[in-house]
Structure 1
Amino acid sequence: MEGHNDENVENHSTTLTNKQRGNELTVRPATLDNLSIHQLAAQGEISQMEIHLSKDCSLLNSLDERGCTPLMWAAAFGEILMVERLLEKGADPRTLARERESALSLACAGGFVEIVNILLEHGVDIDSYDWNGGTPLLYAVRGNHLKCVEALLRSGADITFEADSGYSPVALAVALGHKKVQRHLEDHILKMFRGNGS
Structure 2
Amino acid sequence: MCMTGFGSANAQAKRLHDAVERNDLAALRALIADQVSLNERDGQGRTPLLLATQNNRVEAARLLIEAGADVNAKDAVSDSAYLLAGARGYNEILQLTLTHGADLKSVNRYGGTALIPACERGHVQTVRLLIAAGVDVNQINRLGWTCLLEAVILGDGGARHLAIVGQLIAAKADLNLADAQGVTALQHARQKGQSAVATLLQEAGAR
Same fold, judged at TM 0.5 (above): yes
Percent of aligned pairs sharing the same letter: 25
Aligned counterpart for 2:124 among listed residues 102, 108, 113? 113
Structure 2 contact 65–97 (Cα < 8 Å) conserved: no
Conserved 8 A contact 1:127-1:157: yes
Aligned 1:139-150 pairs, distance under 5 A: 139-142=150-153, 143=155, 144=157, 145-150=161-166
Unmatched segments (≥5 aa) in structure 2? 1-20, 25-41
Which of 49, 62, 79 lines up with 1:37 in the alignment? 49
Amino acid at match of 1:40: A
Query: Matched residue of 2:204: which SS?
Result: helix
Task: Give the alignment's TM-score, normalised by structure 2.
Answer: 0.70
Q: Pairwise mapping of residues 1-198 of structure 1 onto structure 2 (< 5 A)?
A: 31-32=22-23, 36-53=48-65, 57=69, 59-142=70-153, 143=155, 144=157, 145-189=161-205
CA-based RMSD: 2.2
**Aligned counterparts of 1:108 and 1:164: Cα–Cα separation in 2:** 19
Structure 1, unmatched stretches of 5+, are 1-29, 193-198
Alpha-carbon separation, structure 2, partners of 1:104 and 1:39: 21
1:85 shift after superposition: 1.4
User: How many residue pairs align between the two structures?
Assistant: 161
Taking structure 1 as the reference length, what is the TM-score of the superposition?
0.73
CA 1:113–1:54 in structure 2 vs 1: closer, same or farther (change >3 Å)?
Answer: closer
